[in-house]
Amino acid sequence: MGDLPDGTQLTTLLSLLTTSIHTIEAELKAANLPPFTLEPKYHPLDSLDAVPTPRLHEARRVAMAASNMIKALVQDVGTAMMDMSTQSLDQAAYIMTADIRLIDVFHTEQEKTEGLHVNEIVARLPEGKKVDPQKLARCLRLLSTEHWWIEPSAEVFAPLRWALINTPGSSTWAWADPVSYGTLVGSVAFTEQMTDPAKIDDDTIDAAPFVRGFHRMGMTHIKNWWDWFMQEPDRLERFARSMEGCGYSNLAAIKVDYPWESLAPNTTFVDVGAGQGSVSMHILKHVYDKVPTLKVVLQDRPQYLEQGKTLWAVELPAALADGRVSFEPHDFFTENPRKEPNTIYWFRFIMHDWTDDYAIKILKGIRASCHSTSKVLLGESVMLEALPSLPSDSGVAEFEASLKSIDNNAPYQPLKAPYPIPQNYGFATKTTAQYDILMYNLLNALERTMGNFEKIVAASGFKIAHVYPTRGTASKVHSTKAAAAEAWRAEMTGRCHWFPGQFDNFLDDLLPSSVPYEPMNNITDAFSSFQPVKGKEVLSYDGLIAGLNQVVTDFGDKKLHFYNTHGTLMNFPFDEFRKPNSWTYPDICVSFPGSPISSSDMKTSPWQHIAMIIEGKATREEDPYPREGAVNADTAVQSARNARNLLLAHGFLSAFVIGVYGDIVRVIKYDHTSALVSPAFPIHEKAEYIQRFLWHFTHPCSPGALVAGADPTVRPLTLDDRNWVKEQLTRAKVRDIDTALKEIHKGRRVLVPSGAEGTSMRPYILYRLLDVNSRLFSRATTAWLTIEDTRIPGPDGRLIDDPEQGKDFKPKPRIMKEAWRQVVRTPEEAFYNRLSDKIPEKDRFGLPKLVCGGDLGQLDVLEWERSNANASVMSAEDRAIRLPSHPLPAASSKGKAKASQPQGPIYPHHYPQHQTFSWAIGDVKNRTFPKNTKELVRALRDATIGHKLAFEKAGVLHRDMSVGNILIVDEAEDGSFVGFIHDFDYSAMTDVAPGDKPESADSVGADGLESTGVVLIFKDDQRKERTGTYYFMAMEILDGRVVHGVHHDLESLYWVLVWIVLRHTVHNLSVAQAQGVFIFGEDTDSVGKKFVWVNKQVDKFDIPGNQPLVKLLRAMGDLVFKNYGTKFMEPEPMTHDAVIQLFDEALASSGWPEIDFVPCQWLDKSHASVPGVMHDPSAAPKAPRASKKTGDGAPRSDAEKMPPPSEIPTSYKARLRSKGPRSATVADSAAPSGPKPSSSSSSRKRKAEEPAGPVASGSGRSRSSKRSKGSSRSENVD
C-alpha cells in the first residue's frame, strides 16, 4: 500500500474520514436534510427516487471505504477470522427475521423506539411462525452487532433503521427469500463446483453452484435457477417483487446521469428484455414533454408484455393513447425485428445474467439489425479492479480540494480514490463484487470489468463510444433536493415583495411600537467580533450573538435571549404531523421577551418557545433577495420554512426572520399571503437599526400581543389551563384522555366572535390539533379539538369555575377551524347562516351547526369605519370585497364627509382575511379511523343526505367533497347522523334561497341548475370556476368542459370512498396498482386513470370477506361511468336519490366485517410514496404542465401550476386575485382597528402591522375541521 512509515495509514484514514463526514454533514444541511441516525425511521436519502449530489456521493464512498479499512487495520486476527468464516450465520438470522415477519409485531412508533420483551415479541408472532424466545434473543443480539437491532434493556429488543427494510410486502423483504435462501444453498457446494474439472469450462446456467447445492440435498429435479421458480411459483412472485425494487433502486440515478433530453427527434427506444417495462415507463415520463417524438417499444415474452399492458394502462395511459408505447414479443437470442434509423437498443441488467458466449449472441442479434444512426445502451454495473493506490496518487489535501471543486450541477464524474483506499474504493463497492459472485452462484454468470465489456462488445461487431458513470445502485439526495427547490420556488414566485421605502419606514409602517424607541447604551462596536468568512460562517455565530446580547442589554423585562442552534434539527411543531413535513436547522433562535429557553424545552418543543429566527450567510453574494423580482429560492427556503413553523406553532398573524448576509442585514416579514423584504443595511455601521427593530418587535401596538405579528386574541396555555382541561374532559368521560392531551402544551386559548357583528367574544381552549395544511402561502387551515372556557375571574384574578354552573355541568368537546379566507370569496359564515335560516333544526341531517364564529377581519373593517370619519374613501369595489355582507352606511353623512374633507387614510390592511368557526357536532371522541367500512359507508350516506339538504333547501352547492371535508361522529345518538359535510369555503350559493322571491328579474343569471325537480339560479355564476380537491375532482371537471353541478360533487364522493378503501382495507391490488388510480397534476392522465378504474379495474377489484362494499364500489362505479359518458353515450348525471339508494342497499346487506380498517403504510416509506399526499412543499411532486383552459376558459397562473399537497382545494382563478384586507376568523377575536398609529403610538392596532402597499394576494387563515376519520392524518390537508 505504499512506503510510508508505520502508523501513517491510520492517521491518513482518520483525516479522510473526518473530511468526508464534514462534507456529508454540509451537504445534508444544504439540502435541508436531517443527520443520519440509527433510529427506526427511514432517512430521506433512503428514498428510491432520490440521487445524491456528486459531492455527497464521493464523500460517502470515501467514508465507507476509510471506516472499513480502519476496522481491518485495528481488528485482531482471531476476530477477523471468525467474522469472515461465520457471515452465513448473520445471513441465516436475517432471513429468519424476515420469514417470521418480525417487524410486524411492533405496532406503534413508541414500541419501535422503546422495544418489546422477547416473550411479548414471540406471543405476537402469527401462528406457524412461533419460535423459542431465548433463541430469538440470541439471533437478535447477533444482528445488533451490525446495528440492525438494539437491546435497550435485558431481553428487550427494538428495531433500528435497517430492520425496517424487512417490512413484509416490501421489495427488500422479498429479497430475503429466494435470493438469500438461494445464496445459502449455493454456498454449500461452492468450492466443490469451482474445483470440479468437468465444470470449470461449463458456462451453462445448469453449472451454477446453486444447482449442485440442491442436488447435494437430494433435490435432483431442480435443473437451474429459473426451473426452481417454475416449481415454486410463490417464490417466483416474491423474486419478481424484489427485482422490481432493484430496478427502481437504480432508476433515479439512470434518469439523472444519462442525457435523455439530448435524444435525437423521432428516436425509437427499444427495451430488450423489458419485463413489464416499468423502468422504460419512468424514463418516458421523465422526458415525455422534453422529447415529444420519443417512442418506446417493449420486447419480452408474451406473458410479461400482457402484464405490462395492464401496468401502462394504469400508470401512463397517455402513452397508450398517444401511440408512444408498443409491445412486441421477442426472443433476444434471435435477430431483432427493429431495424429503423435512430433506434436505441436498451439492455438493463441483462448482460450480467449471461456468460460471454451468450452475451455475444444477444448483441449479435442487435448488430444484424442495427442502422448506422442507431446505438446500443447497456445499463450495467462495471467492476473495478482492486488495485492499490499510491501516496503519490492523491492524498488528503488533494482529496479535500477535489471535493470542494465538484460542481453539483455538472454531470457526475467520479474522483480518483485517495491513498490508502484501493482504486476501486474497497468496501464502498463491495455490493458490485457481491453481485458478481451472486451471479456466479445462482446463474453461473458475472458482473464485468471494462476489459470484459470491451471483449464482448468487440466480438459482437460494436465499439464502446462512451461510458456514463452513475451514482451507485441506490438513489439518494439530488433529485429530492431539486424537487424541493422547484416546489418552494413555485410557491414563492410572485409572493416576495420589496418594501418601497427606507428601513425606518419599514419599522414604522409594519411594526409600530407602543413605546417610542430611543437609542440605548453605546452599541457602535457591538458587532465588531462578528467577522464571517465564506465556508466558515458557523464559526461567526458566537460573535453575532454577542453583538445581539449587547444590543438588548437595556430591554429590561423585554430582553430577548439568543441561541446558536445551527446544528440542531427541529422537526415540524406538531409531532402527529412530523412525518410528512420537513425539518429545519435554524442558525440562531430568539426567545420571547423575558423568557429564556431551557435546554429541555429546546429539545422537546422548541417552536413553542421561539419567537423569531436569524439566518446567517457568510457573504453578500448569498443574499437571496439581491433585487426586486429576483429570489434565490435555494437560499430562501430555509428562512421560509422557519417562518412557516413560527406561524403555525403560535397562530401568529405574521412572523419575522432576520437574514444576515455577510455584513448586511435584511428583515423579512412573512404571513400566509406573501413575504415582504426590507431594504438591506450594513450591520457594523447600523447596529442601531438592529436595536430599533428588536425594540419594535418586543413592544407591539396590539395590547395582549407578546411580540409584533402575534395575534392579540390568542395566548398560550398556562399550567392552570391544562389542568382545567384535563378535569373537564374527565368529567365529560372522554376516552383516551392521555392521547388527547399528549401535546396540550402546544395548544392555545382563543376568543371567538359571538353575537351580532362580534359584539361579544367566547373563549375556547384548543387542546389537540387534528389536521393542518402546512404550506406557507395558503389558507393554512388547522382543525382543533376544543372546549369552551367557562371559567370566570376569581378574587385574585385567576380563572375559577363558575359556581352557577353546578357540579353536573359537562363541557362539550367541539371542533374548531382556523383558516385564512380569500377575500374574493363569500365568507363561510354566510353559508352557515343560509343553512340555519332555511333548514329547520328538526330536519337538519348530515350538516354541522355553527355554534359561534365570525370573520375578525370584517369586524376590524367595521370598527375602522366607525372610528374614521373618512372611511368612505375606500372604493366601493374594495369595500364590497372586504364587507360583502354589510351594505354601506346611509349615504347622507358619509357622502358629505367624502365631499367636504380632503382624502383621508386608506384602509391599511392589504391581505386576505382571517376567520374562525366552531361547530357543534355532538360529542367529539377522537378516533383516527372508522370502526369498520360499514361505518364509513354510513357516514358517506349521511353526508350525501346533508349535501342534498344544503342544495335543495338552502341553495348551497358544496363543490369540494373530499376526505378532509367529511367528518365522522363517534357514538352518534340513535336516529342522528354518523357523517356530515363541512368546510364551505369554496361553495357556491344562489342569489336567492329556494322558496324566496327574487327582488327583480335582473338580479339573476340566465342559467340554472336542476336536480330532482329543483331549479336554482346562481348569480354571477361562480360554478364556472374550477374548484375542488384535485384527487377527488369529477372527470368532467378535470376535462374543463362543464359548469360544476350536483352530479360532480356526487362523483367526488365516490372517489373519496375509493381513496379510503384503497388505503385502509386489505384487497387484491398491489401498492403500485392502488396508488396508480390517483395521480396529481396531469388532467388528461388523471381522467384516464379514473376512467380505467370505473370501466375495467373496479370489476376485478376484490376485498376478501367484504362483498357488500365490493358490490357498492362496482354499482357506484357504473353511475360514475354514465355520469362521465363517452363519445358514443351521452352523460347521465348522478342524482342524490340514486346515490343514497345504493348506500341504503349496501348498508342493508349482510356480510359486513366487524373490524376491517387497517392503517395506511404507504407514507412511512418515503415522501414520494404517494405523489402529492404531503403537507410540505419539499415532498410535493414536480409542477404539472399547465392546462390550456380552466373551467371558464381562462388560462391558469404560474402559481396555480404549483402542486399543492394532497387535499388543498385547488381554486384556479381566485388564488392570486384576492388582494385585500387580512381576515381574522379564529376562535379568538381580533382587536378593533383604529387609524394607523405612528411609530410611537400606543393604540391597539393589530392591522397596522401589515404592509403599506398592495402585496401579492393569497389565502387567509380559518379554523375548521378538515379531517375525515376514514383516512390517515397525512392524507388530510386543507
Domains of the chain, residue spans: 258-387+422-475, 480-698, 714-916+1219-1273, 957-1201
Distance between CA atoms of residues 281 and 308, nearest Å: 10
CA distances from 1028 to 33, 132, 822 (A): 32, 55, 15
Q: Mapping DSSP to helix (H, G, I), strand (E, B) and coil, where does residue 125 land?
A: coil
Q: Mean of the pLDDT values across residues 1215-1235? A: 25
Distance between CA atoms of residues 986 and 976, nearest Å: 26
Q: What confidence category does residue 272 fall into, taking pLDDT thresholds of 50, 70 and 90?
A: very high
Q: Mean of the pLDDT values across residues 1200-1210? A: 26
Please state which of the ranges 46-50, 89-93, 761-765, 953-957 shows the lowest mean pLDDT.
46-50
User: Per-residue pLDDT tens for 552-609?
Assistant: 999 999 999 999 998 787 889 998 887 667 678 799 999 999 999 998 898 888 999 9
Distance between CA atoms of residues 949 and 262, nearest Å: 57
Q: Mean of the pLDDT values across residues 211-223? A: 89
The predicted structure's pLDDT at residue 1216: 21
Q: What confidence category does residue 1046 fall into, taking pLDDT thresholds of 50, 70 and 90?
A: very high
Please provide the DSSP assignment of 83-94 as one string: HHHTHHHHHHHH
Q: Mean of the pLDDT values across residues 1196-1201? A: 26
Distance between CA atoms of residues 979 and 936, nearest Å: 8
For 151, the enclosing helix (H) or strand (E) is strand 149-153
Distance between CA atoms of residues 528 and 1275, nearest Å: 50
- Stronger pLDDT, 826 or 1275, i.e. the higher one: 826
Please state which of the ranges 144-153, 282-291, 470-479, 717-726 shows the lowest mean pLDDT.
470-479
Sign of CA dihedral 391, 396, 402, 403: positive
Residues in a beta bridge with 300:
329
Preceding peptide of 1104 cis, ω within 30°:
no
What nine digits make up the cell of 831? 353559508
CA distances from 399 to 1, 90, 224, 534 (A): 17, 35, 46, 20
* pTM score of the predicted model: 0.57
| Domain 957-1201, second-level architecture | Orthogonal Bundle (1.10)
Distance between CA atoms of residues 973 and 1071, nearest Å: 37
User: Per-residue pLDDT tens for 933-973?
Assistant: 999 999 999 999 999 999 999 999 999 999 878 888 765 56
Share of the chain above pLDDT 90, in %: 35
Q: What backbone torsions phi and psi does residue 966 show, to the nearest 5 degrees? A: -125, 120
Amino acid at 479: S
Share of the chain above pLDDT 70, in %: 76
Q: What confidence category does residue 923 fall into, taking pLDDT thresholds of 50, 70 and 90?
A: very low
Instruction: Kindly tell me if the per-residue pLDDT of 889 is higher than 70.
Output: no
Instruction: Kindly tell me if the per-residue pLDDT of 536 is higher than 90.
Output: no
Instruction: Kindly tell me if the per-residue pLDDT of 195 is higher than 50.
Output: yes
| Yes or no: domain 480-698 corresponds to CATH 3.40.630.30 | no
The predicted structure's pLDDT at residue 900: 34
Q: What is the DSSP letter of 1097?
A: I
Sign of CA dihedral 832, 833, 837, 842: positive
| Domain 258-387+422-475, second-level architecture | 3-Layer(aba) Sandwich (3.40)
Q: What confidence category does residue 533 fall into, taking pLDDT thresholds of 50, 70 and 90?
A: confident
Instruction: Kindly tell me if the per-residue pLDDT of 1273 is higher than 60.
Output: no
User: Per-residue pLDDT tens for 324-383?
Assistant: 999 999 999 999 999 999 999 999 889 998 999 999 999 999 988 988 888 999 988 888
Distant-in-sequence contacts of 389-392, Cβ < 8 A, 24+ apart: 389/1, 389/416, 389/417, 389/418, 389/419, 389/420, 389/421, 389/422, 389/423, 390/2, 390/419, 391/2, 391/3, 391/4, 391/419, 391/420, 392/419
Distance between CA atoms of residues 1030 and 1040, nearest Å: 13
Label the pairing between strands 782-788 and 382-383. Answer: unpaired
Q: Mean of the pLDDT values across residues 414-423? A: 90
Q: b vs e for 858-879, b when ≥16 Cβ sit within 10 Å of the residue's Cβ?
A: bbbbbbbbeebebbbbbeeebb
Q: Mean of the pLDDT values across residues 183-195? A: 87
User: Per-residue pLDDT tens for 1095-1142?
Assistant: 999 999 999 999 999 999 999 999 999 999 877 788 899 999 999 999
Q: Which of 1216, 1277, 1264, 1260 is nearest to 671 (CA)?
A: 1260
Instruction: Give helix then strand counts, H and E, for the chain.
Output: 40, 34
CA distances from 848 to 650, 789, 835, 977 (A): 27, 21, 9, 10
The predicted structure's pLDDT at residue 1195: 25
User: Per-residue pLDDT tens for 1138-1163?
Assistant: 999 999 999 999 999 988 887 775 54
Q: Is 1081 left (phi over 0), alpha (psi -120 to 50) or beta?
A: left
Q: Which of 407, 415, 478, 59 is nearest to 257 (CA)?
A: 478
Averaged pLDDT of the chain = 78
Q: What confidence category does residue 797 fall into, taking pLDDT thresholds of 50, 70 and 90?
A: confident
CA distances from 17 to 46, 76, 307, 993, 1263 (A): 22, 21, 47, 73, 51
Q: What backbone torsions phi and psi does residue 543 show, to the nearest 5 degrees? A: -65, -40
Distance between CA atoms of residues 1096 and 1101, nearest Å: 9
The segment with the largest mean pLDDT, out of 618-622, 736-740, 746-750, 892-896, is 746-750
Length of the chain: 1278
Please state which of the ranges 246-255, 673-682, 696-705, 901-910 shows the lowest mean pLDDT.
901-910
Q: What backbone torsions phi and psi does residue 866 show, to the nearest 5 degrees? A: -65, -30
User: Per-residue pLDDT tens for 565-579?
Assistant: 987 878 899 988 876
Instruction: Kindly tell me if the per-residue pLDDT of 1201 is higher than 50.
Output: no
Please state which of the ranges 771-785, 899-913, 1049-1063 shows the lowest mean pLDDT.
899-913
The predicted structure's pLDDT at residue 904: 38
Inter-residue contact 1211 to 986 (CB < 8 Å): yes
Please state which of the ranges 21-35, 494-508, 631-645, 688-702 shows the lowest mean pLDDT.
631-645
Q: Mean of the pLDDT values across residues 105-112? A: 84
Distance between CA atoms of residues 171 and 238, nearest Å: 8
Contacts of 706 (CB under 8 A, 6+ apart): 592, 593, 611, 700
Please state which of the ranges 615-619, 1003-1007, 1249-1253 shows the lowest mean pLDDT.
1249-1253
CB atoms within 10 A of CB 536: 9
Q: What is the DSSP letter of 80?
A: H
The predicted structure's pLDDT at residue 634: 57
Instruction: Kindly tell me if the per-residue pLDDT of 1187 is higher than 50.
Output: no
409 by Cβ neighbours in 10 Å (0-12 / 13-18 / 19+) ranks as exposed
User: Per-residue pLDDT tens for 7-38?
Assistant: 578 999 999 999 999 999 999 998 888 899 89
Q: b vs e for 1235-1254, b when ≥16 Cβ sit within 10 Å of the residue's Cβ?
A: bbbebebebbbbbbbbbbee
Torsion angle defined by CA atoms of residues 569, 575, 580 and 582, in that order, rounded to the nearest 10 degrees: -20
Amino acid at 71: K
Distance between CA atoms of residues 147 and 135, nearest Å: 19
- Stronger pLDDT, 1222 or 921, i.e. the higher one: 921
Residues in a beta bridge with 853:
917
